[in-house]
Amino acid sequence: MKTRNPLINQETPESGREASSAYLDRLVEIYKARLTLLIALIVAVVSLTGYAYQNDRADLFFLAAIIPGFGLLIDVFIKREVACPFLYKALLADSGTNDSEAITALFLDFRRANKSKYSNILESNVGEERRRKFRKAYVTRGLWLKAILAVLASGLIMTLGVAHLK
């Protein structure tokens, strides 16, 4: 049975491989937009840093150093508010197929797939608590590494600015 799904604005089956595929198609589009935005922020950082270096502008070094942190916040927001619902619904649809290696489970945790913490969250909880735990697990995945990279990038830009303006 197909129903009109407001999350993706198209008709999708209630569960199974077709529903999972529809949600994953939307997720791919979100990831493309996320990647495009992050590349644009990287170009902005490089451009601002170069302009600040050529024109001896400390304020632009500071602005360029803020952008990696801003990019991290945008990335977390996109994962939390935009991508997470699609991934959650895809995992729910895949869980109903009894596939030992469902594509959504592989995407979330390739090494452990259906024995991952995401699959355990689906099995152990229900309703709002399950959604909250899934969102927390998905959003915090890899967050510490991204935060370290953002701090290192900001530190490098500030160091370059201080060294150049001395």
Domain residue ranges of the chain, discontinuous segments joined by +? 14-165
Mean pLDDT over the full length of the chain:
85
pLDDT tens digits, 95-145? 776 766 777 777 777 666 666 777 777 777 778 888 888 899 889 989 999
Residues 70-94, mean pLDDT to the nearest whole number: 91
The percent of residues in the chain predicted with pLDDT above 90, rounded, is 51
Which pTM value belongs to this model? Answer: 0.80
* Rounded distance between C-alpha atoms, residue 17 and residue 93, angstroms: 7
CB of 41 closer than 8 Å to CB of 47 = no
